[in-house]
Amino acid sequence: MCALWSQERDEALRKQRIITGLLEDIRDQRAKIKLEFDEGVTSIKDITATLLEYDTSGMTVEVSALKGATHAFDGVNIACFFRVRDRDARDREQYLTFDTNVRNVEQRPSGAVHFSLSFPQNLRSAQLRRSVRVKVDGRKVPELTLWPDFSGWQDMSKLTAVLGADQLASREFKVDNFSANGLRLLVSSSLMHSAMPDPVKGTRYAVHFRAIAEPGAAPASFWVSAALRNVFRDPQTSETALGFEFVAEGFMDEKHGLVWRPLRFDEVSGLGKFVFKWNLDLYREKGMGS
104-117 pLDDT, tens digit each: 999 988 889 999 99
| pLDDT given for residue 187 in this prediction | 96
* pTM of the predicted model as reported, rounded to 2 decimal places: 0.55
Q: How far apart are CA 260 and CA 27, in angstroms?
A: 47
Confidence of residue 128 (pLDDT cuts 50, 70, 90): very low
Domains of the chain (ranges; CATH) run 12-129 (2.30.110.10), 134-272 (2.40.10)
DSSP letter assigned to residue 126:
G
Other beta carbons within 10 Å of 250: 20
131 has pLDDT over 80: no
Q: Mean pLDDT lowest for which of 133-147, 202-216, 257-271?
A: 257-271
- Maximum average pLDDT range among 1-15, 130-144, 275-289: 130-144
185-228 pLDDT, tens digit each: 999 999 999 999 999 999 999 999 999 988 888 899 999 999 99
Region 126-141 average pLDDT: 74
Q: How far apart are CA 197 and CA 174, in angstroms?
A: 18
Give, for 117, the enclosing helix (H) or strand (E): strand 113-117
Q: How far apart are CA 79 and CA 94, in angstroms?
A: 16
